[in-house]
Structure 1
């Protein structure tokens, strides 16, 4: 019995949630070191903060990965790359 069997998790699922946790910790450290994050208006024409852009990035990545699963199949490496590119674009222009 594996240590994650109590919740029927797989290692990729655990890594996913650990990554989300580490992203949140990183954003917290960033906010502590450089407070404020100056809200800005990007291409969507409404004010966003770092946290807003992180949320939009994570939400978009979820949809990208779900679409990839439905249209292409279970190999998600390309979807991960597209999600990272999407997140970079969101943090740059939104």
Structure 2
């Protein structure tokens, strides 16, 4: 069923983190319903909205990193493509920033 997907450790960790965030957000929402608030995003958002926006940003960061990996090898004269763990850390930091300040 999932044979088409390249299940590397970083991919598995990313999806496990997403599932844990969804479970955590569900529990948080049940215990403390959210309200609209205005942060630096151009719209008023709830926690769920910010999670969705943050996950989309994280996905695009990871896709861009993988897509530009070979180019970064040439630009920076690296012996191999940069680790996807770097994009994972950056994407989770962006997600945390959107959740906190967005």
| Superposition TM-score, scaled by structure 2 size | 0.73
CA distance in structure 2 between the partners assigned to 1:30 and 1:56 by the alignment = 18
Find the counterpart in structure 2 of residue 54 from structure 1.
Answer: 51
Find the counterpart in structure 1 of residue 89 from structure 2.
Answer: 81
CA distance in structure 1 between the partners assigned to 2:97 and 2:66 by the alignment = 22
Distance 1:24 1:38, change over 3 A: same
Moved more, 20-29 or 51-60: 20-29
- Flag structure 1 segments of 5+ consecutive residues without an equivalent: 1-5
Q: Does 1:19 align with 2:48?
A: no
Shift of 1:48: 0.3
Number of residue pairs matched by the alignment: 88
Larger strand percent = 1
Over the aligned positions, Cα root-mean-square deviation in angstroms equals 1.9
CA distance in structure 2 between the partners assigned to 1:80 and 1:29 by the alignment = 25
Larger RCO, structures 1/2 (Cα 8 Å, 6+ apart): 2
Task: Tell me the alpha carbon deviations over residues 34-64 of structure 1, each in whole angstroms, 9 at most, x when there is no partner.
Answer: 12x2210111231100000000111000110
- Flag structure 2 segments of 5+ consecutive residues without an equivalent: 70-80
Name segments (4+ residues, structure 1) moved above 4 Å: none
Shift of 1:14: 4.6
